[in-house]
Structure 1
Amino acid sequence: MPQSLDTGTDQVRLLVLTPEYADFLWLVAMLSDDPDISPDAVWCPDIVDCDDLVRNASFDVVVWDSAFQDSSEGAFLRYLSAVSDDRPILALGSDTCGDKASTIIGYGAADYLSRQTLDRWSFCRAIKHLWYREQLADSAHSQLGREVASGFINRDLFFDRLRQAILRAERAETRLAVLHLNIDDFRSINESFGYQQGDQLMLALADRLRERLRRADSLMRIAGDELAIIIEKLEDSLDITRILRKLVAALDEPFTLGGQKVLVSISIGVATYPEAGENTENILRRANRAMFAAKQDPGTSYRFYDRQLHVTAGHQLRVEADLRNALRGGELELYYQPRIDLATEEVRGVECLL
C-alpha cells in the first residue's frame, strides 16, 4: 500500500516509486534538510498501486527508481510518461555514464541521476529545477486565456516551444503534430457583434479546446482569428485523428455572443513531424497550407498536409509569379466580348477576357 509522509505546508508533491521503504525515507530526508522544499511525499512500492496513483492523484514530480519495475526501462518510462499527464519524471539509476542519461531522457524522463553519486545537493537541485519548471509551465498554460482575451500574440514563445518539441521528438524518435486553426468567416462575426465580442469568442473557443487537450499540449493564439496547437508523443496517425475528433466535437454547441447563440466552424490544418519537415518554419507553413485546403470543405473540417498539397501550392506560386512578370512586361491584353439578349438582339453587357 502507498504511504504518505507530509512534512509541512506549501509542499512539492512527490510520488516516489522505489521498492524499499528505507530508500524512500532517505530521499525524503535529503529534501527535508533543504529550506526551499517542504516535501509532501507518497511512497509506492507496487506497480498496481502505481497505475492507480499516477492516473488519479496529483503530483508535481515523480521520482522513479530503476529497480522499481520488472519490465524494460524504456517500456515502463513511456507508460509512466503517458499516464502521468506528462508530469516531470526524475529517474534514479545505477549507471554513471552520460549515454545512460541520454537514453533514459529519450524514454520520457525529465532528468537522470546516478544513485552511486547521489547526494543531498544534487537531488534537491534536480527536484527544485523540475518543480519550478512545472510551475512555469502551469503559469504559461493559464496565461493563454489572458492572451486570447487581450489579443496578445506571442509568436516567439510559440516557435520556441515548437523547437523544443522537435528536439524531444527527435531524441525519443517519436512524432508530433502542429495544428493550425482558423475561425471561418471571423470578419463577419467582428462586424456583426464587435471586436470585443470577437475576442471573447476566441477566449471561449480556446477554453473548449483546452479541455479536450492534454496538459502538455501547447495552445497559442498566433493571429487575430488563428490558433496553433503543438501535440507531442504521437504513436501513429490514429492518435492525432482521435484528438482531432475531440476538437471538432468542441464546436457542436453554440457560443453566446451579445446574448445570441452563434454556431461557428473552424478549419484545421495538420502537419506532422518528421513528415512535413524538420524545422519550425516549414512545419507551421505546411500546417497553414493544409488549413487553407480544409477551407474548401463545408463546416468544421481538417486536412493533413501531404505531398499533393505541396505540388499544388508550388503550381499556384508559379502561376502567380508568371502573371506578375507578364503584367510588368506589358504582355497582357484585354478583350471585351458583348453579351447579347437572343430574344431582342440587344447588347446587355460585356465580358472582359484577359
Structure 2
Amino acid sequence: MSNNWLKSGSMRAPCISILLLCEEHTDYLWIKSVLETQDDFNVAVHWCATPDDVERCFEQHQYQIIFLDSAFAVQDSLTFLNYLTVISDHIPIISFGANDENACLQSTFRAGGADYLCKQSLSGWAIEKAVRFALFRHESEKQLTARTSIDSLTGVVNRKLFFDRLNQCLHRAERNKELVGILILNIDDFQCINENFGYKAGDELIRSVATRIKQVLRKPDSVARLSGDEFSIVLESLDSFYSCIRVADKLIDVLQAPFTIEQDSIKMTASIGIACFPETGKNAEDLVKCANRAMLNAKDEHGNSYQYYNKKMNSKLSHNLQMEADFRKAIRNGELRLFYQPRIDIFNNELVGMESLVRWQHPSRGLLTPDHFIELAERTGMIVPMGYWVIDQASRDLAQMQAMGYLDLICSVNLSFRQFLDRKLSETIFRIIFNAGVNPSSIELELTESTMMKDLDATQRCLAEISQLGIAFALDDFGTGFSSFSYLHKLPISTLKIDKSFIDDLESPFDSQNIVKAVINLAHNLQMNVVAEGVENESQLRFLQKNYCDQVQGFYFGHPVPYDQFLPVLRKFYPATKLSSL
C-alpha cells in the first residue's frame, strides 16, 4: 500500500476508510464532522452503534483504521479491544474515552490498540495527528513483518506469520460457518538427501518443493515453511473434507516427478497429515498438532501417502513417540542384542554359516523382535547407526569363532535401503571389518528385493564398490518382489534366499512347489547358491533335498539365539575335520 495518504500537500489524498464504534449518534456526528473538516485529510467515516453489528461491518467493508469509544463494550473494553485486533487483521485501533490518557495508554497498547485519546482534549488536529501516526506506524510494521515473516529460502511465510494468518482464517471460518483444512507435509528422509547430495542441493530441493506446492493451490490457500523439511498448507472455504483429500492427491502427484538439482536427479517422497476445522480442533495449535500426528502416522506407509487425523491416533502416536525416544537411547545404553540362526548344508548336514538377527532388550518391555522397532528405526534414520552396530558386533563375534578354529564360516548381515544412501557405506564397512580382524569374504550382506528396486542404479553402484572388498551379497526374501529375474545378472549377487512364505506352502498348493523349483533352477543356472528360509519340518527338508536346494535355515535346525548359546549349536553341526588347530 502506498503511504501517500500520510503526506500533506495540495493534491487530494486517497480516501481513508474509518470505522467508528460508538453508541451515541451525537458522538458519531461530532467526530465525523471534526475529521471531514480537516484540510488535506480525505476520510470516509462508517458508523457502528452496537457490538453485535461489528462483524457484519467487516463483512461489508474494508477499513484502514478503527475509532473505538471505550464505553462501547461496557463489560470489558480491553477484552473487546483485543477481539477487535484479531477480527480486523490487526489494523490500527484508536480508543477514546473520559479517562486520562496517561492512565489508559499502557493498557490500550497491551490489548493491541494503537493509541488512546481523552475526550476532553479531542480536537481536529489531535485526531488527525493520531490517525496519521497510527497509519504510518502500521505501514512500517507491515514492511518489517514482511521482512521478518517470510522464509528467506523459499519466499513463503514462516512459522510465526503462519500462525497469525491461521488464527485470522479460523475466526473468519467460525463467523461464516466454513470448513478449513490444514495439511502438514514432511519430506521423507531429507537428512539422507543432505548427507548424500550436500546441503546446497538440499536447500535447492526445498525451494523447488515450495514452488511445486504453490502450483497446486488456489489463490485463497496459503503455504508456510514450518521447519527445515516441513511445510503447512491452509485450505480455506472448503466444500467438504474430500477437498483436502483431492489437494493431498495433487501434492503427492506433483512431488513424484524427479527434481533436477545441478547435475543430479533426485527422487523424493513426502508424507502428509490432514486435519479439519471445526471437526478436528477449534484453534490453530490443536489443528496443527493433530495434522502433525496424522503426518507421523502417514510415515508408516513408507512415503507418498497421507492420513486424516482421528482420535485413535493419539494413543498410537503416544506409544510410537515413547518407543522412538527409547530406541534413540538403545544403542548408547547397550540394549541391542545380536542373535544367530544356523545355516546348514542340506546334503551333509554341516553348519556352513549363520544369519545375524538383531533384538532389542527394552528396559521395561523385555526382549523385542525387529517387527517392534525396525519401522521406527527406518523412519527416524536410526537404522543406519543400528546397521553399523550389527556389522561391528557380528564381525567381532565371528573373529572369536575364527580364533576357536571355525575358519570358513559365513556370517550374513541384513542391509536396509537407508544404509545404501550413506555415501560412506563401503568405507565404514571396510573399517569395521578391518578393525575386527576378519576376512571380508567371511561376511555376506543381505538385501531384499524391495530394497534393491527402490533405486536399482544406486544399488548397482554401491554393490559393485563393496564387492571389490571381497564381501559377498545375498538376495533375501526372493520371490516376494517384482521384476527381480530381469535384474539379477546386473548385480554381484552370489546367493538367493527363498522366502519363508513359499516354504510354508510346500505341503498344500502345487504352485509353491513349482515356484521353489523354479528359483532353485534359476539360481543354479546363474551359478548362485540357493538357501531356503523357514524350514520347520522334515517334509519340507526332504522336498528341498530332492530338488537340490543348497542350504537351509529354520526352526528345524535351530531358533535364533545369543552368541553364547550359539556356540553349542556350532559344535554340534560344524564338522570336526574342518576345525582348525589354531
TM-score range, shorter chain: 0.5 to 0.7
How far apart, in 1, do the equivalents of 2:14 and 2:259 lie?
A: 38
Aligned to 1:16: 17
- Sort the Cα spacing of 1:29 and 1:314 in 2 relative to 1 into closer, same or farther, 3 A: same
Aligned to 1:77: 58
Matches within 5 A, 1:1-354: 16=17, 32=40, 65-66=46-47, 73-75=54-56, 77-78=58-59, 90-91=65-66, 96-97=71-72, 98=77, 101=81, 104-105=84-85, 107-110=87-90, 111-113=92-94, 119-141=127-149, 143-144=150-151, 146-147=152-153, 158=159, 160-161=160-161, 164=164, 174=174, 179-190=183-194, 193-210=197-214, 212=217, 217=222, 219-220=224-225, 222-223=227-228, 226-229=229-232, 231=234, 238=241, 241=244, 244=248, 247-248=251-252, 250-251=254-255, 254-259=258-263, 262=266, 264-271=268-275, 275=280, 280=285, 286-297=290-301, 300-317=304-321, 336-340=340-344, 342=346, 345-347=349-351, 348-350=353-355, 352=357, 354=359
SS in 1 for 2:300: coil
User: Alpha carbon RMSD of aligned pairs, Å?
Assistant: 5.6
Q: Which amino acid aligns with 1:90?
A: I
Q: Which amino acid aligns with 2:232?
A: I
**Post-superposition shift, 1:312?**
0.9
How far apart, in 2, do the equivalents of 1:308 and 1:325 lie?
A: 27
How far apart, in 2, do the equivalents of 1:316 and 1:238 lie?
A: 27
Q: Which amino acid aligns with 1:229?
A: S
- Sort the Cα spacing of 1:202 and 1:190 in 2 relative to 1 into closer, same or farther, 3 A: same
How far apart, in 1, do the equivalents of 2:358 and 2:230 lie?
A: 40
Larger mean CA deviation between 199-208 and 257-266 belongs to 257-266
**Post-superposition shift, 1:248?**
4.8
Contact 1:162 1:230 in 2 (8 A): no
Which of structures 1 and 2 has the bigger CA Rg?
2
Contact 2:271 2:298 in 1 (8 A): yes
Contact 2:252 2:304 in 1 (8 A): yes
How far apart, in 1, do the equivalents of 2:242 and 2:68 lie?
A: 31
**Post-superposition shift, 1:228?**
3.5
How far apart, in 2, do the equivalents of 1:232 and 1:113 lie?
A: 33
**Post-superposition shift, 1:198?**
1.8
Contact 1:178 1:229 in 2 (8 A): yes
Contact 1:148 1:221 in 2 (8 A): no
- Sort the Cα spacing of 1:78 and 1:298 in 2 relative to 1 into closer, same or farther, 3 A: farther
**Post-superposition shift, 1:339?**
3.9
- Sort the Cα spacing of 1:124 and 1:205 in 2 relative to 1 into closer, same or farther, 3 A: same
**Post-superposition shift, 1:108?**
3.8
SS in 2 for 1:200: helix
Alpha-carbon displacement from aligned partner over 1:246-266 (angstroms, at most 9, x marks no partner) = 655653665331145555432
SS in 2 for 1:296: helix
How far apart, in 1, do the equivalents of 2:265 and 2:336 lie?
A: 49
> Using CA pairs below 8 Å that are at least 6 residues apart, which structure has the higher relative contact order?
1
SS in 2 for 1:251: helix
Contact 2:185 2:231 in 1 (8 A): yes
SS in 2 for 1:306: coil
Structure 2 gap segments, 5+ residues each: 20-30, 98-118, 360-582
**Post-superposition shift, 1:73?**
4.3
Structure 1 gap segments, 5+ residues each: 34-40, 44-62
Larger mean CA deviation between 163-172 and 300-309 belongs to 163-172
Contact 1:286 1:305 in 2 (8 A): yes
Contact 1:77 1:109 in 2 (8 A): no
- Sort the Cα spacing of 1:123 and 1:31 in 2 relative to 1 into closer, same or farther, 3 A: farther
Alpha-carbon displacement from aligned partner over 1:305-339 (angstroms, at most 9, x marks no partner) = 33222111223356568889999999998764434
- What is the TM-score when the length of structure 1 is the normalising length? 0.56
Q: Which amino acid aligns with 2:187?
A: I
SS in 2 for 1:295: helix
How far apart, in 1, do the equivalents of 2:294 and 2:257 lie?
A: 25
Contact 1:65 1:93 in 2 (8 A): no
Contact 2:32 2:45 in 1 (8 A): no
Q: Which amino acid aligns with 2:132?
A: C
Number of aligned residue pairs: give it.
Answer: 299
**Post-superposition shift, 1:31?**
9.3
